């Protein structure tokens, strides 16, 4: 195929060259009806590009096949059999993938370090999770993806499970041995879903970790807005092999997806694929060199340590590491990542990625350069110098790994939709949670519907909130009370 083409972008240009008089949505009619104050902030180009996908860019019957052509180009670019675009983010794409593998009351192996969107999929679908424990670094208090041996052990105990789902890379950049996990699944004729939301760039440079399709995954879900050049909510999911019917996967996406997709998102996805095919090698040669230099400069600052492969990659830990996730341990400064991130934003207008009780992280992409890297270095240098002003920081209670692992005693769907009550947090230990309790970012639930709470997880969450942790999905944002199942 001609990878210099960008069908959605080209159709949008043709639409502008020969505009239609539309008597269809969107109601702003190319921005003519938009409030001038909105136009001043958003720009007229946004509204000019916001046209109806079917009956706008394409005709009523989609006979020109613009979107299909763009998806086929994407599939060829990355070596997948099929690719589907989503304008509802990977939160939708991963649910579609799950529903293509398992249905209500069927079982699916799931790494316990999954994003909250996967838990939402379990709730919506009524799938019964068989949890696979991640690799826990007790010294750094950090979870890495589960191993192939852990998936094999759960499969051996539950041979009727419909398939498996693993998250790789994690928001900390650590990667699973996907080839080994895929082999465990395929030896049993089961499909593997990889939530590779943080890995849109991985297919495009040999110095990056191996991406899911090359490792043998059946479905790979990618958030192109995270590490690529697409807009927020841009997602693609790729399919290969014959363990999942592409028609079934498309049906599941149709079930959950919007009937009013954004041409802005489609066009950005289309253009990003062309950019990567034509320029990714040069872009990532430069970006990876910049990452190496930036990591070394930060690591040289007093009180800061940049985690690398020596920290994260070893037997019992992660299999690989994305160097573009710059994870900085600031524990020697005597403060928390929450407090440091707030200080950096207020004093240097810098926003950081993952912040936890002892770390901050900076996500680098092909959009970064020496100017942005220098800004980061200057800010972190002043952070280290200002550390005395950030102490003492509230301490977060971090339980042992076994104490963080709650027992799943109800189906997530039953706990979420069943009778519930709100109880003071002091009385929640021993109760079954009916809500997700998710430190964010990175968005991995500490407790999820159907799990029985214990004192250690409650202390972790409560002390975390006191220290600056955000738990946005709790019914009570202050975490003074928790929503639990009414038990008879």
Q: Which of 17-21, 121-125, 154-158, 480-484 has the lowest mean pLDDT?
A: 17-21
CA–CA separation, 401 and 136 (whole Å): 7
Question: Average pLDDT in the 137-157 region?
Answer: 95
- Of the candidates 291, 69, 456, 462, which has an alpha carbon nearest to the alpha carbon of residue 299? 291
Collapsing DSSP to helix, strand or coil, 108 comes out as strand
pLDDT category of residue 441 using cuts at 50, 70 and 90: low
Q: How many CB atoms lie within 10 A of CB 29?
A: 15
Integer CA distances (angstroms), 194 to 62, 220, 247, 440, in order: 31, 5, 19, 21
Dihedral sign computed on CA atoms, order 152, 195, 8, 57: positive
Q: Which H or E run includes 155?
A: helix 148-157
pLDDT at 392: 92
Question: What phi-psi label fits residue 450: left (phi over 0), alpha (psi between -120 and 50 degrees) or beta?
Answer: left
pLDDT at 98: 97
pLDDT category of residue 123 using cuts at 50, 70 and 90: very high
pLDDT at 54: 86
**Mean of pLDDT over the chain:** 95
pLDDT category of residue 58 using cuts at 50, 70 and 90: confident
137 DSSP assignment: E
Collapsing DSSP to helix, strand or coil, 8 comes out as helix
Predicted confidence (pLDDT) per residue in 425-434, tens digit: 999 999 999 9
- Of the candidates 471, 484, 477, which has an alpha carbon nearest to the alpha carbon of residue 444? 471
pLDDT at 488: 82
- 180 CA to centre of own chain: 22
Predicted confidence (pLDDT) per residue in 64-113, tens digit: 899 999 999 999 999 999 999 999 999 999 999 999 999 999 999 999 99
CA–CA separation, 193 and 101 (whole Å): 9
Strand partners, 278: none
Predicted confidence (pLDDT) per residue in 344-377, tens digit: 999 999 999 999 999 999 999 999 999 999 999 9
Predicted confidence (pLDDT) per residue in 354-363, tens digit: 999 999 999 9
Predicted confidence (pLDDT) per residue in 228-257, tens digit: 999 999 999 999 999 999 999 999 999 999
Instruction: Answer whether 446's CB lies under 8 Å from 460's CB.
Output: yes
């Amino acid at each position: 195929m001609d990878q210099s083409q960008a069908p959605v972008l080209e159709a949008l240009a043709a639409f502008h060259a020969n505009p239609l008089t539309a008597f269809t949505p969107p109601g702003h009619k190319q921005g003519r009806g938009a409030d001038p104050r909105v136009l001043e902030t958003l720009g007229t180009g946004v509204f000019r590009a916001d046209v109806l996908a079917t009956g706008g860019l394409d005709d009523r019957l989609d006979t020109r096949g613009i979107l299909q052509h763009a998806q086929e180009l994407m599939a060829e670019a990355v070596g997948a059999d099929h690719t589907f675009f989503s304008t509802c983010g990977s939160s939708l794409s991963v649910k579609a993938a799950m529903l293509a593998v398992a249905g209500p009351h069927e079982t699916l192996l799931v790494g316990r370090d999954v994003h909250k969107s996967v838990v939402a999929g379990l709730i919506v679908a009524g799938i019964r999770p068989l949890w696979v424990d991640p690799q826990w670094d007790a010294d750094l208090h950090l979870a890495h993806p589960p191993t192939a041996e852990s998936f094999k052990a759960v499969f051996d105990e539950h041979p009727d499970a419909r398939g498996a789902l693993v998250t790789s890379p994690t928001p900390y950049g650590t990667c699973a041995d996907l080839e080994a996990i895929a082999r465990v699944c395929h030896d049993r004729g089961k499909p593997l879903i990889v939530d590779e939301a943080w890995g849109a760039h991985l297919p495009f440079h040999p110095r990056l970790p191996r991406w899911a399709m090359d490792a043998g995954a059946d479905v790979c879900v990618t958030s192109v807005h995270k590490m690529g050049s697409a807009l927020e909510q841009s997602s693609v999911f790729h399919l290969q092999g014959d363990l999942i019917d592409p028609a079934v996967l498309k049906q599941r996406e149709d079930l959950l997806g919007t009937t009013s997709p954004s041409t802005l998102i489609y066009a950005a996805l289309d253009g990003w694929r062309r950019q990567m095919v034509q320029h990714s090698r040069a872009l990532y040669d430069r970006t990876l060199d910049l990452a190496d230099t930036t990591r070394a400069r930060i690591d040289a600052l007093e009180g800061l340590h940049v985690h690398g492969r020596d920290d994260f990659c070893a037997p019992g830990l992660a299999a690989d590491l994305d160097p573009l996730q710059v994870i900085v341990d600031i524990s020697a400064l005597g403060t928390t990542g929450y407090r440091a991130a707030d200080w950096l934003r207020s004093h240097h207008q810098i926003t950081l990625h993952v912040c936890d009780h002892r770390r901050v992280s900076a996500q680098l992409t092909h959009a970064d350069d020496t100017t942005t890297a220098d800004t980061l270095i200057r800010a972190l240098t002043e952070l280290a110098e200002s550390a005395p002003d950030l102490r003492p920081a509230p301490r977060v209670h971090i339980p042992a790994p076994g104490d963080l692992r709650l027992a799943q005693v109800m189906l997530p769907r039953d706990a979420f939709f069943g009778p519930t009550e709100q109880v003071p947090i002091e009385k929640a230990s021993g109760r079954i949670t009916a809500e997700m309790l998710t430190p964010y970012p990175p968005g991995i639930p500490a407790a999820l519907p159907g799990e029985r709470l214990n004192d250690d997880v409650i202390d972790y969450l409560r002390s975390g909130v006191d220290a600056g942790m955000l738990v946005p999905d709790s019914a009570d944002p202050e975490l003074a009370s928790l929503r639990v199942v009414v038990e008879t």
